[in-house]
Amino acid sequence: MRTLDLAIISESNVFRQRAELVGSLFTFECMTYPSDEAFFMESNLFKNVSCLLFDFCKPQDIKDITGTLHVARQVSPASYILVVCNKMSTEEMDMAISAGASRIITQQEYYDSSKPEFVLSQVIKSVFVPVKTMDLVEGTTPTFPLYHFMPLNRRFLKVFNTNSMLTKDFLTKFSNAGDLYVQRESLDLWQEYTSGYVAKDSAEALQKSRQKFRQLNESFLSLALLVSDRSTPATFAKGKELYSHCEKFSADLLSSLLDLEDPWYIISSSAVGDYGSIERAPAVAAYAGFMSATLKVGSPTEVMIGALLADIGYLELSPSVAAKLRTNRTHEMNAEERMEYQKHPIFSLNQCLARRLPLSNNIKEIILQSHERVDQKGFPRRPRADKLLEEAMLVRLCWELDQQCQGRMGERKPDIREIRRQFSRAAMNEVGNYNPRLIVKANSVLLPAVF
């Protein structure tokens, strides 16, 4: 029996095409079904279905919807159930979630925003989390399986069985092959393992920093899912709780990075996500927080929170704009698409305010100014150079640095040392992008470990 990534349940060709486009973007294994009955008839063919996508855009009685969801939850108890509807009252949404829906998005969000890409990528693609082979200890018996990503067919292959012993040959082989992966459901076991078998000497500090980066990453993605969710309006307390976690984990990570000889390597090697993905935000935040603390530019925690939230507005962008972002083709955007893209910092702040996140005025300005330039050719507001926060320019500098550090899953990551050297040289030579004083200060952190 095989595992299915996404079951698309709809009689609408347009609905199915939209979902299949997302599936092709992330190379999901998808199956389409014209009705819920058709899926239920074939559900026993699969060992597991990661996500069920239901089309309830046509007007239906809420009792019929909840009845279908009850059956879906019984048939696929472990599946994430994403519901798309035309219009539901708050009471009806609560009923649908009680019946088994994991999340509800509107028909407009489904067709006109990139929220389906984000939600489905988190549910399906992020089932596997990268871990470092150097954190595995020869002679130990992990209580979870390990996987290797196969770039050619873009599938995960199990290479280590639960409770087997790690051998020197295995560790040598996969140290040269790139990251290994654990299933997200095994993260607690991985944390327990790495806490129980602590690496020695300098490797211990690296291991702890990776753990703290992972904590921040998980907390941020949970916050992003909540902030973008309009189906659960009464979750302000939960939003504040997750925001508080992000603040704490940011401070913890920063403290750990400041103790390392080469924090750049830890950040670049721990980051996940592709171009145009808000999954890159923790890496940008880590770079920016480290530079803020080292250069004494603003409050490092505020800088990190601003960097985390600056691009959360990506989720409001249309599918065509999001697709060009994810494939690093912003230069191909037409005038309308570029105008939409350049509004995303405003979208970011609005989403945070709608969830009543306790942002300081400084963080709000960092978010809004995160893509501005001193020559007023940035976006979205183009303030004068003397109105730009140095913290916001630092966030954008780290965002641009991270753009050059990205590689596709399964590929070897670029050399962060060489990237820093090239980036520093380019920033010094470019006129109008950054405040020259900031670049001089930044180079004192970017360059010493390179030469």
Averaged pLDDT for residues 292-309: 97
Highest mean pLDDT of the ranges 140-149, 273-282, 399-408: 140-149
Give the pLDDT score at 27. Answer: 84
Highest mean pLDDT of the ranges 13-27, 119-133, 193-207: 13-27
Measure the CA–CA gap between 272 and 278, rounded to whole angstroms: 10
**DSSP letter, residue 155:** E
Residue type, 399: W
Compute the mean pLDDT over every residue in the chain, rounded to the nearest whole number: 89
pLDDT digits (tens, 9 = 90+) for 69-123: 999 999 999 899 999 998 888 899 999 999 999 999 999 999 999 999 999 988 8
The string over 173-204, giving b where at least 16 C-beta atoms fall within 10 Å of a residue's C-beta and e elsewhere, is ebeeebbbbbbeebeebbeebbeeeebeeeee
Measure the CA–CA gap between 341 and 325, rounded to whole angstroms: 9
Contact at 8 Å (CB) between 272 and 130? yes
Helix, strand, coil percentages, rounded to 5, for the chain: 55, 10, 30
Query: What backbone torsions phi and psi does residue 192 show, to the nearest 5 degrees?
Result: -65, -40
**Residue 202 CA to chain centroid, in angstroms?**
29
Give the pLDDT score at 274. Answer: 66
Query: What do you get for the CA distance between the two ends of the chain, in Å?
Result: 54
Place of tokens 């067709």: 111
Give the pLDDT score at 201. Answer: 58
Two tokens, residue 84:
């798309």
Residue type, 81: I
Measure the CA–CA gap between 433 and 8, rounded to whole angstroms: 45
Domains in the chain with CATH codes = 2-112 (3.40.50.2300), 127-197 (no CATH), 206-446 (1.10.3210.10)
What percentage of the chain reaches a pLDDT higher than 90?
61
Two tokens, residue 431:
């006129």
Side-chain half-sphere CA neighbours of 363 within 13 A: 23
Measure the CA–CA gap between 269 and 247, rounded to whole angstroms: 22
pLDDT digits (tens, 9 = 90+) for 179-229: 788 987 788 888 888 877 655 556 677 888 888 998 899 899 989 988 888
Give me the DSSP letters along 392-426.
HHHHHHHHHHHHHH---TTSPPP-HHHHHHHHHHH
Measure the CA–CA gap between 436 and 383, rounded to whole angstroms: 17
pLDDT at 262 over 70: yes
Q: Model confidence at 451, in pLDDT bands (50, 70, 90)?
A: very low
pLDDT digits (tens, 9 = 90+) for 359-374: 999 999 999 999 999 9
What's the Cα-to-Cα distance from 139 to each of 123, 206, 331, rounded to whole Å? 33, 21, 51
Place of tokens 């912003």: 330
Give me the DSSP letters along 41-100.
HHGGGEEEEEEEEEEE-S---HHHHHHHHHHHHHH-TT-EEEEEES---HHHHHHHHHHT
